[in-house]
Chains A and B, each alone.
Chain A
Amino acid sequence: MTELILFALFCLLLLSNQSIAIAIIIATFASMIYTIDILPAATTVAQRLAAGVDSFALLAVPFFILSGYLMGSGGIASRLIDFAMSLVGKLPGGLAYVNVIACTLFGSISGSAVASTSAVGGFMIPEMEKAGYTRSLSSAVTVTASTVGMLIPPSNILIIYSLASGGVSIAALFIAGYLPGLLVTFLLMAAAAIYLKRTNQVPARAVEIKPLITSFIGALPSLALVVLVIGGIIGGFFTPTEAGAVAVIYSFILAFYVYRQLSARDLYPLFLQAVRTTSIVMLLIAASSAMSWLLSYQSIPQTISEAMLTLSDNPLYILLIINLVLLVIGTFMDMTPAVLIFTPIFLPVAESLGISPLHFGIMMILNLSIGLCTPPVGSVLFVGCSIGKISIAEIIKPILPLYVAMVFALICVTAFPQISEFLPGLFGL
């Protein structure tokens, strides 16, 4: 009964163009008062909202959003673009590939897909628009490519999976993520190329392509940001979260004192925009945390897994079912709660059929990465739409072929455990 109220009310509110976060919260609250008294229920939802954003790791979100805005307006973006143009700008559709690569790189550094969407999308989407790409395609490319960073280390979500699974080696997981991550990157570039051809979009080549050396020197201080962030994390100077704050300060100094493209007057609107974008994302995370709490409280995850084991004992068939279930879950639940809730439920099922927890974990993270880009609840999709200033309706058409690419990658990773297990095996992990 609870589940029916939750689902029906959520759909109704969604169709009425209610803010998605508020729709989730109201639906959660309404179905909660079916089993819990109204005051404890309201109190619990309120607490979950605060608890959902009470996490040090989430601080990466405002920081990378802000540094993205600073890079976008501070001249950092244009120099990186110049450099990227000199590299692949001559290819037809080159900027789309640059976007995919930049998102992969940023997602890898930050370990947060949301952060990379805002940091990369903040400058790539306007630049691609100038070059003649539609905003919707640029946003779709940014959104999907940003999730690759979940698979490539450092990745907090892989650490969370390791903890939830109670014993998968983090070192092995980190190494296991590289090949699947690169596979997704490659397939996304292929899908973007096909989409551009199919829709007869022939973006104008960059009007002016600077010589490689000139653009490289111009971009060097910006590229140094990447070195600073990766070097700082790998060198042990700060955690990935703290790297966000460092990135803010570095891009601030660059924009103000090196490139001198920002003045004190620009600062307030820029910060305001960043803090509002942050809050929208945070309220969504808070809301999904309240809803997943209710689902756990009703033991719905357990019910699902019990039903599943009665279906089959063929590993591939069960993995197919798990993938389908996770894809559905991913549409309306955030990644972190989904990993925390469903790992302890699905992993034993998978392990009992001889599937390695390493293979399962990579598959699960890749699967839920797709969910980050799907409506109705997809934090990366929302940030991408917000940064690209387009509606969810507009992004659907260009993002569909990219979903196909990701699902194809998921099928490969599911069917061929070697993709995940080859590298760890090589290193004896």
Chain B
Amino acid sequence: LPFIFSCSDNSTDQKTIRLAHGLDVNHPVHLALVHFQQRLQVLSEGTIKVNVFPAGQLGSEREIIELIQFGTIGMTKVSASSLEAFVPNMKVFGLPYLFQDQQHFWRVLNGPIGKALLSDGERYRIKGLGYFDAGSRSFYATENLIQTPSDLSGLKIRVMNSQSAVNMVNTMGGSATPVSWGELYTALQQGVVDGAENNPPSFYFSKHYEVSKYYVLDEHTSIPDVIIIGTHLWKQLTVEQREWVQIAMQEATDYQIDLWQKSTNEALAKVKEYGVEVIYPDKTPFRDSVKELYKQINNEEILQLIADIKAQERD
């Protein structure tokens, strides 16, 4: 019986951090978190052990955040959009074409704006440690070629279950249709929706390319992943231990960005090989179509944040 195998408790001077996330074991995020685990093991000379629980074993992103708040789990990786419920300013990442390019994106995240957003969650018992690359999301469609936003009109596009995603697609001219991720393959296959949007690795890993003819790299949003530690755990750590965690996190981030790039290239190559037509459209009309969205914003804090982010653009 499996019940015979029993794990004895750790000795007193050893710390165990339970880190749960929702992605599978081949995903760049998991590999980077394992890298974090190994680096922290070395840095702490074996005194800090990280248990990584992949594939949503311990719950969905929102549920894991709650478990961190209850004090049952120590760390997680979530999408910035899942944090909106706790850190409202994270909504800013849901805005399309917020960043000029990759360099601008990382300049903002590594700068004071990114750091402030990370610590914004502390009063909700969750502290951000750093960002992972989650690429840019683009549209894919089963039958219809999308080259300009006007091609979206009349198309049912699956979006994440979030108001900002709904607004974005509706503003561009499509019909935003929330469908759960698990039901999306069948929904695409059977025409419940005409398309969806996600980054290349997710498009590839989810097998949605099997039922999509076109992948249109309009790269409308870049929503980073955020690594979170519970403040109850953070408070238990000594100054030295916190430093190790930060160093290991930085190394894991560098490692992840590299892996993500490879994974993106590989995903695009694979879906092309399968027969998906990958399109590199002119982004200008897409960029123009969402200007209305920016005008509708009346939240002072978000407006200030947008201005600060735009101020970091370079020519």
Indicate whether A and B interact: yes
In the complex, what distance in Å separates the CA atom of A343 from the CA atom of B71? 28
> Which one, A86-94, A198-206, A221-229, A291-299, is touching chain B?
A291-299
Q: Which residues of B contact A280 (CB under 8 A)?
A: none
Check A47–B66 contact: CB distance below 8 A. Answer: yes
Check B182–A233 contact: CB distance below 8 A. Answer: no
Check B3–A6 contact: CB distance below 8 A. Answer: yes
Contacting A2 at CB < 8 Å: which of B6, B26, B56, B185?
B6
In the complex, what distance in Å separates the CA atom of A206 from the CA atom of B296? 69
> Which one, A236-244, A270-278, A375-383, is touching chain B?
A236-244
Check A44–B56 contact: CB distance below 8 A. Answer: no
Residue B307 at the A interface, CB < 8 A?
no
Q: Which label, helix, strand, loop or mixed, suits the secondary structure of the B interface?
A: loop
Residue A428 at the B interface, CB < 8 A?
no
**Interface residue tally for chain B (C-beta within 8 Å):** 43
Check B72–A40 contact: CB distance below 8 A. Answer: yes
Contacting B58 at CB < 8 Å: which of A234, A241, A297?
A297
Q: Which residues of B contact A354 (CB under 8 A)?
A: none
Q: Which label, helix, strand, loop or mixed, suits the secondary structure of the A interface?
A: helix
In the complex, what distance in Å separates the CA atom of A51 from the CA atom of B20? 16
Please provide the chain A residues from 168 to 198 with a CB less than 8 Å away from any CB of chain B in the complex.
169-171
Please provide the chain A residues from 1 to 34 with a CB less than 8 Å away from any CB of chain B in the complex.
1-4, 6-7
Check A236–B182 contact: CB distance below 8 A. Answer: no
Can you list, as one digit per residue, whether each of A83-110 has a CB less than 8 Å from chain B (1) or not (0)?
Answer: 0000000000000000000000000000
In the complex, what distance in Å separates the CA atom of A47 from the CA atom of B73? 13
In the complex, what distance in Å separates the CA atom of A159 from the CA atom of B207? 10
**Interface residue tally for chain A (C-beta within 8 Å):** 55
Contacts A43-B70, A169-B210 given: A304-B59 contact, CB under 8 Å? no
Please provide the chain A residues from 319 to 364 with a CB less than 8 Å away from any CB of chain B in the complex.
325, 328-329, 340-341, 344
Can you list, as one digit per residue, whether each of A49-90 has a CB less than 8 Å from chain B (1) or not (0)?
Answer: 001000111000000000000000000000000000000000
- The closest CB in chain A to the CB of B2 belongs to A304
Contacts A57-B183, A239-B186 given: A340-B3 contact, CB under 8 Å? no
Please provide the chain B residues from 158 to 186 with a CB less than 8 Å away from any CB of chain A in the complex.
179-180, 182-183, 185-186
**Smallest Cβ distance from B181 to chain A, in angstroms?**
8
Check B70–A47 contact: CB distance below 8 A. Answer: yes
Check A239–B179 contact: CB distance below 8 A. Answer: yes
In the A-B complex, the 5 residue pairs with the smallest Cβ-Cβ separation, listed nearest first, are A236-B191, A3-B3, A166-B24, A296-B57, A236-B190
Residues of A at the B interface (CB closer than 8 Å) are: 1-4, 6-7, 35-37, 40-41, 43-44, 47-48, 51, 55-57, 154, 156, 159-160, 162-164, 166-167, 169-171, 233-241, 293, 296-300, 303-304, 307, 325, 328-329, 340-341, 344
